[in-house]
A and B are shown apart, each in its own frame.
Chain A
């Protein structure tokens, strides 16, 4: 039984929150450039009249955090990447990397992230898009929770809050209450290919986020299996039922990798691996290698679902070429996910984008997603057009 006392909040050292602003994030979007990766594109964007967005959006996040201003202090890079936004504000802050102004762009982001981590920050708020998220992933891996203030043109990664204000609230919640964290996908698309009309998102890794950072995530799923334990129990059941002689291509991501974990096989998290008779026969395969390993063999694909979007093919697993997918057909797709993750997808739909529109349409129909041992959820595969 809790003892009732006036003023339950305990005194403690104020939390340290890192803040990194990518000042040019999102500038390409407003002038139709699909992204702002690289100096040339930035120049082009400015020439077309693009205006900086990140500062204004970060200010919205800071306003949302102002009621809790006394409970934490910021640690920031200098100038437009952070300190400039906090001058004359009610927030206390200190500068993490006084010399990093010699760096610019991605290198500056990475240097700032490392310095902020060394200073003992408990999480990092960053304003940017997928490119910025990738820079932070490169610098930190999953060692520190991230919350993205959505500013980019492309935001396929799961680290972004639904609005700048939500990012601020999440940050305050994370320091005031203990929050579970989870690993979410960091994805990015090839901008030049996208400009040429081809969308192909790649999975770059997994960043750590407070659980509620996900679009439709409740703050807790108490008593419910967490995503990974649900997927792992589904994978354990699947492992018992693997067919001899069959080739299983294990797509990237934590969900698909659960089958390798259950079989105690060292595979790759971000690549496509091949299994046959419970042993690894191919690791981190390219499209050509996938074709070679599956040639004249019966194939099944073990896939996960991209959170918040619902892609099972075409985002992060382009190594599996359309002709191999055609061979497996819809019946050869084994999809692992938790009900929690599927519940967030509108209309019960999963998306496929194999790069071959005719095949995408052939794949349309219902599939049974493995959501636990003895648990399936009926989802509709859609070409999303």
Chain B
């Protein structure tokens, strides 16, 4: 899509050299997957103990010098700085190890994983490469060594970047103010819920407006955070067209409606074209509208949450904006809203008075904090670096590429036995991802989506994302290529699925007993459901599995 002149003034233009395009007449989707040579792969096996079982009493990685006399005199004994009631009686039971022992342990563990550099088409998460440049910028001492409690006069550079990035997100959404406090997407959805609460309380309507509407296909955090903030949750089912009907929405809204929390496109890759009508209906009932932009990749640069009638939205900097999520963080849910809701934002809000950047905490109507300080700043810096390196046109183009890549993948997957696209009666193309199902394969061979995911790891490919609960599609999986993965990567990924499908029909046992080339064989998930077995701490592990654990 051509960028309009004047669009995204805050995002610098880039002079882009177009890369030469190879013209081909043949239909690339017809290249048979059999023609692609799949890599052999086997994970290293270290039989690595857990870190709590390692070490030797008295061993240390770092030995710190005693404080200088002057420091000791000024500060006193460090222990006495901690209030007596908060002091622990014993030393913490930590493993005692040297630095090389620690390095060796974590190297082994990392070697037993696929790492984050594989082909990971992990749908709903928009996996992207985190550039070394972005890392290098975030590691600069001006960023890495500042503390959020420093005097703001010494934080002007960091605050300027945050403010500039705020302006960029305003352009991408049409909102009036962004904050970065939320530590992830769900935390940003929670921000919406507490802002909704403060907004209706201010207007004297909170006791009446106690319902938040969402859809069964929206991310479960929308319902969960609404409940956590004390709202009742009204869920809309999907109608024949693949998204909830307007009539169901009309039946859901009332004077009890506090807000609508919704994704678009949803996790099936279906865009709801009636969304403007949705926001109108909710506003007419007196509710607020929040756009969960978890699936922004397919529409970035194409739509504006504000123009579609939303009062607020959320971007996930740890997926859409360059840095991949891995291992549960670090993450930022950037939350933006209109001027009408801005007084209720969590504090502090970074503002600019023309000369100075400020951390504004004097906001009497604020809903309070959703997390400490003002955000996971290194992650904001990386996202800012990503936007600056992409440029406005680059963001537009990335969105086009992600939809193109998905539809290319859709066509290739549709030729594989045992797969079925969700909502098979809908012919329209999907956005940046598609939910697929292995229902036919399950019926015909007994091989389901968990078996296939296990087998993928044998080819050195990260298993895919299946689906959030509840499973609306049978035996679901949700690939998403985004703009980053090459055609060869996608071809390889599809070839792996094709290969596993062939195995399912010819030698199902090899799939059922997978993975065969991983450091750890099949994980029986049942232990996750049994409170007698799972342990969240070393102490609980010892209690449940015997002293030292049986390492089962």
Which residues of B212-250 are within 8 A (CB) of A?
216, 223, 227, 231-240, 244-245, 247-248
User: Is B529 interfacial (CB 8 A cutoff)?
Assistant: yes
Contact of A343 with B237 in the complex, beta carbons under 8 Å = yes
A2 to B45 CA separation, bound complex (whole angstroms): 12
User: Is B47 interfacial (CB 8 A cutoff)?
Assistant: yes
Contact A3 to B552, CB < 8 A, known contacts A8-B522, A348-B239, A376-B235 = yes
Contact of A375 with B232 in the complex, beta carbons under 8 Å = yes
Contact of A219 with B448 in the complex, beta carbons under 8 Å = yes
Q: Is the interface of B mostly helix, strand, loop or mixed?
A: loop
Q: Which of A165, A168, A177, A216 contacts B471 (CB 8 A)?
A: A216
Contact A173 to B525, CB < 8 A, known contacts A347-B239, A366-B248 = no
Contact of A348 with B519 in the complex, beta carbons under 8 Å = no
User: Is B251 interfacial (CB 8 A cutoff)?
Assistant: yes
Contact of B248 with A343 in the complex, beta carbons under 8 Å = no
Q: B79 to chain A: which residues have CB within 8 Å?
A: none
Q: Which of B235, B522, B525 contacts A378 (CB 8 A)?
A: B235
A380 to B251 CA separation, bound complex (whole angstroms): 10
Q: B235 to chain A: which residues have CB within 8 Å?
A: 339, 371, 375-378
Closest approach, in angstroms, between the C-beta of A298 and any C-beta of chain B?
Answer: 22
Q: Which of B237, B472, B508 contacts A377 (CB 8 A)?
A: B237
The interface size bin for chain A is: 35 or more
The interface size bin for chain B is: 35 or more
User: Is B60 interfacial (CB 8 A cutoff)?
Assistant: no
Contact with A along B498-533 (1 / 0, CB 8 A): 000000000011000000000111111110110000
Closest approach, in angstroms, between the C-beta of B212 and any C-beta of chain A?
Answer: 10
Candidate in B231, B237, B474 with the most chain A CB atoms within 10 angstroms:
B237
A165 to B441 CA separation, bound complex (whole angstroms): 11
Contact of B446 with A163 in the complex, beta carbons under 8 Å = no
Contact of B470 with A378 in the complex, beta carbons under 8 Å = no
A222 to B527 CA separation, bound complex (whole angstroms): 11
Which residues of B192-230 are within 8 A (CB) of A?
216, 223, 227
Contact with B along A304-325 (1 / 0, CB 8 A): 0000000000000000000000
Q: B443 to chain A: which residues have CB within 8 Å?
A: 162-163, 165-166
User: Is B252 interfacial (CB 8 A cutoff)?
Assistant: yes
Q: A371 to chain B: which residues have CB within 8 Å?
A: 235
User: Is A64 interfacial (CB 8 A cutoff)?
Assistant: yes
Nearest residue in B to A179 (C-beta to C-beta)?
A: B526
Nearest residue in A to B230 (C-beta to C-beta)?
A: A374
Which residues of B89-143 are within 8 A (CB) of A?
none
Q: Which of B245, B251, B469 contacts A221 (CB 8 A)?
A: B469
User: Is A342 interfacial (CB 8 A cutoff)?
Assistant: yes
Nearest residue in B to A6 (C-beta to C-beta)?
A: B521
User: Is A218 interfacial (CB 8 A cutoff)?
Assistant: yes
Candidate in A168, A348, A378 with the most chain B CB atoms within 10 angstroms:
A378
Q: A57 to chain B: which residues have CB within 8 Å?
A: none
User: Is B450 interfacial (CB 8 A cutoff)?
Assistant: yes
User: Is B444 interfacial (CB 8 A cutoff)?
Assistant: yes
User: Is B73 interfacial (CB 8 A cutoff)?
Assistant: no
Which residues of B472-507 are within 8 A (CB) of A?
472, 474-475
Q: A375 to chain B: which residues have CB within 8 Å?
A: 223, 227, 232-233, 235
Contact with B along A204-230 (1 / 0, CB 8 A): 000000000000111111111000000
Contact of A4 with B237 in the complex, beta carbons under 8 Å = no
Q: Which of A162, A172, A340 contacts B470 (CB 8 A)?
A: A340
Contact of A67 with B244 in the complex, beta carbons under 8 Å = no
Contact of A165 with B446 in the complex, beta carbons under 8 Å = yes
Q: B26 to chain A: which residues have CB within 8 Å?
A: none
Which residues of A348-385 are within 8 A (CB) of B?
348, 365-366, 368, 371, 374-380
Q: B223 to chain A: which residues have CB within 8 Å?
A: 375
Nearest residue in B to A215 (C-beta to C-beta)?
A: B474
User: Is B50 interfacial (CB 8 A cutoff)?
Assistant: yes
Closest approach, in angstroms, between the C-beta of A198 and any C-beta of chain B?
Answer: 30
Contact of B49 with A173 in the complex, beta carbons under 8 Å = no
Nearest residue in A to B528 (C-beta to C-beta)?
A: A222
Contact A374 to B233, CB < 8 A, known contacts A222-B529, A224-B470, A347-B240 = yes
Contact A67 to B471, CB < 8 A, known contacts A1-B49, A347-B240, A378-B251 = no
Closest approach, in angstroms, between the C-beta of A211 and any C-beta of chain B?
Answer: 11
Contact of B227 with A374 in the complex, beta carbons under 8 Å = yes
A231 to B32 CA separation, bound complex (whole angstroms): 49
Nearest residue in A to B474 (C-beta to C-beta)?
A: A216
Contact of A2 with B523 in the complex, beta carbons under 8 Å = yes
A182 to B216 CA separation, bound complex (whole angstroms): 23
User: Is A169 interfacial (CB 8 A cutoff)?
Assistant: yes
Nearest residue in A to B217 (C-beta to C-beta)?
A: A343
Q: Which of B216, B529, B551 contacts A339 (CB 8 A)?
A: B216
Contact with A along B272-311 (1 / 0, CB 8 A): 0000000000000000000000000000000000000000
Nearest residue in B to A345 (C-beta to C-beta)?
A: B237
A341 to B475 CA separation, bound complex (whole angstroms): 16
Contact with A along B36-67 (1 / 0, CB 8 A): 00000000010111100000000000000000
Q: A2 to chain B: which residues have CB within 8 Å?
A: 520-521, 523, 551-552
Contact of B234 with A368 in the complex, beta carbons under 8 Å = yes
A168 to B237 CA separation, bound complex (whole angstroms): 32
Nearest residue in B to A180 (C-beta to C-beta)?
A: B529
User: Is B369 interfacial (CB 8 A cutoff)?
Assistant: no
A290 to B103 CA separation, bound complex (whole angstroms): 74
A376 to B526 CA separation, bound complex (whole angstroms): 29
User: Is A288 interfacial (CB 8 A cutoff)?
Assistant: no
Q: B528 to chain A: which residues have CB within 8 Å?
A: 222
Q: Which of A4, A8, A224, A345 contacts B45 (CB 8 A)?
A: A4
Closest approach, in angstroms, between the C-beta of A49 and any C-beta of chain B?
Answer: 30
Nearest residue in A to B446 (C-beta to C-beta)?
A: A169
Q: B526 to chain A: which residues have CB within 8 Å?
A: 177-178
Q: A162 to chain B: which residues have CB within 8 Å?
A: 443
Q: B363 to chain A: which residues have CB within 8 Å?
A: none
Closest approach, in angstroms, between the C-beta of A60 and any C-beta of chain B?
Answer: 11
Q: A166 to chain B: which residues have CB within 8 Å?
A: 442-443, 446
Contact of A3 with B238 in the complex, beta carbons under 8 Å = no
Q: A223 to chain B: which residues have CB within 8 Å?
A: 469
Q: A348 to chain B: which residues have CB within 8 Å?
A: 236-239, 244-245, 248
Q: B475 to chain A: which residues have CB within 8 Å?
A: 218
Q: A168 to chain B: which residues have CB within 8 Å?
A: 446
A69 to B248 CA separation, bound complex (whole angstroms): 50
Contact of A1 with B50 in the complex, beta carbons under 8 Å = yes
Contact with A along B74-92 (1 / 0, CB 8 A): 0000000000000000000
Q: B240 to chain A: which residues have CB within 8 Å?
A: 347
Nearest residue in B to A339 (C-beta to C-beta)?
A: B470
A368 to B48 CA separation, bound complex (whole angstroms): 52
Contact with B along A177-199 (1 / 0, CB 8 A): 11010000000000000000000
Nearest residue in A to B508 (C-beta to C-beta)?
A: A67
Closest approach, in angstroms, between the C-beta of B81 and any C-beta of chain A?
Answer: 38
Contact of A378 with B446 in the complex, beta carbons under 8 Å = no
Q: Which of B50, B239, B469, B525 contacts A224 (CB 8 A)?
A: B469
* 5 A-B pairs (CB sep. < 8 Å): A2-B523, A165-B443, A166-B443, A378-B248, A378-B251
5 tightest A-B contacts by CB? Answer: A169-B446, A348-B237, A366-B251, A218-B471, A374-B232
Taking beta carbons and an 8 Å cutoff, which residues of B are in contact with A? 45, 47-50, 216, 223, 227, 231-240, 244-245, 247-248, 251-252, 442-446, 448, 450, 469-472, 474-475, 508-509, 519-526, 528-529, 551-552
Taking beta carbons and an 8 Å cutoff, which residues of A are in contact with B? 1-5, 8, 64, 67, 162-163, 165-166, 168-169, 172-173, 177-178, 180, 216-224, 339-340, 342-343, 345, 347-348, 365-366, 368, 371, 374-380
| Additional A-B contact list (20), CB under 8 Å, known A165-B445, A348-B245 | A3-B47, A3-B551, A3-B552, A4-B520, A8-B522, A67-B508, A165-B443, A166-B443, A177-B524, A178-B526, A218-B475, A222-B525, A222-B529, A343-B470, A348-B236, A365-B251, A371-B235, A375-B227, A376-B235, A377-B236
